[in-house]
Amino acid sequence: MDSVFSDTDTSCDLFPHTDDEDSRGSVRGASPQPDQQPLQQKKRRRGRGRSDSTAQVVKKNRRLKANDRERNRMHNLNDALDALRGVLPAFPDETKLTKIETLRFAHNYIWALSETIRIADLQAGKTGDPPLLLSPSLLVEAPSPGSDGCSWSSSGSSSSSSPAYCASSPGSPSAPEDYSFLQQVPVFGFRSFAPGIY
């Protein structure tokens, strides 16, 4: 009963007809423009139907092009988000992260990795040994750094300060040697590792 319009109800395709009444608002009705209606009425009163309709067609075409660009823009954004999901630790049975979860998880993951590097550097400084390489077991299924152009160096900006929305993050090791927060990722899954921002 519901779907009078299919899920792909892109009005671009469904409303090719150039109706004078301009089906705007009949379906969407998103933002009722109080100014628009009087304007149209004013134009209509002038009786220049032909030129006005061409203006409307031009306007409509511009809108359709803008819609298309906006759609592509959002698709690009989603592609970037998918790429980000791809470099995050993943598990087959884990459901796909939502957009906000992906961003939060990536943020916390980067923070955890930089913490690991910072701690390793600290330990290396104490012992005089060369800096420890990250054990693969620490970064469970983590992507190989730099394999996708990511710069992985700590670059001196080892901000150990977890951002405000990471304060309650499980990725806050209680002890300097405690790396378990990274290993917890597969244990508890992403959603526990991607805490809310609040």
Interacting residues toward DNA by CB under 7 A: 2-5, 7-12, 24, 27-31, 33, 35-36, 62-71, 73-75, 78, 98-101
Nearer to DNA, 70 or 178 (CB): 70
- The residue written with tokens 């954004």 in the block is 77
Report in angstroms how near the CB of residue 9 gets to DNA at its nearest: 6
Which H or E element spans position 36? helix 36-46
Nearer to DNA, 54 or 144 (CB): 54
Closest CB to DNA among 68 and 148? 68
CB of 31 to DNA, least distance (A): 5
The CA distances from residue 83 to 48, 175, 183, 195, in Å, are 52, 33, 23, 21
CB of 187 to DNA, least distance (A): 19
Q: Nearest 5°: CA angle at 69, between 64 and 71?
A: 95
Residue 124, both tokens = 């290396």
CB of 47 to DNA, least distance (A): 24
**7 versus 21: smaller Cβ distance to DNA:** 7
Give the residue with the Cβ less far from DNA, 160 or 192. Answer: 192
Q: How far is the CB of 112 from DNA (least distance, A)?
A: 22
* DSSP-assigned letters across all residues of 81-124: HHHHHHHS---TTSPPPPHHHHHHHHHHHHHHHHHHHHHHHHHH
